[in-house]
Amino acid sequence: MTQAVSDAAISLTASAAARVAAIAERQGKPAILRLSVEGGGCSGFQYRFGLADVPEADDIAVETDGVRLVVDPMSLDLVRGARVDFVESLGGSAFRVDNPVAASGCGCGTSFSV
């Protein structure tokens, strides 16, 4: 059973939710974005995003505008309080994690250290 969490644990912006919904519709998948943290990257940890077909039993989930963001409990410890956003700029567009747990990050925006 997926656990719902308060907005303070992790959040998904409306911009990110809209982008996930568009990608999911184009790929014929449910609008479920999985965020996980893996070892590696230039700063020690890196974010991984992907569409999920179904949440795992122990996932933590939040919902914004009908789109669910799911995070496994181990990754949640490294992103607690974070906000997942989708940004578009002259340099391109990407999902971005504003992570208060991260002590530092790198220029690519997908790697961090604690």
Map out the domains of the chain as residue ranges: 3-113
Residue among 73, 28, 74, 75 at smallest CA distance from 47: 75
pLDDT reading at 72 higher than 90? yes
Q: Contact at 8 Å (CB) between 111 and 42?
A: yes
Query: Looking at residue 100, what is its pLDDT?
Result: 87
pLDDT at 53 exceeding the cut of 90: yes
**Single pTM value for the model:** 0.81
Mean pLDDT in residue range 63-88: 94
Q: What pLDDT score does 36 carry?
A: 93
pLDDT at residue 7 tops 50: no
User: Rounded to an integer, what distance in angstroms lies between the CA atom of residue 96 and that of residue 84?
Assistant: 6
The domain defined by 3-113 folds into Hypothetical Protein Aq_1857; Chain: A; (2.60.300)
Please count the residues of the chain: 114
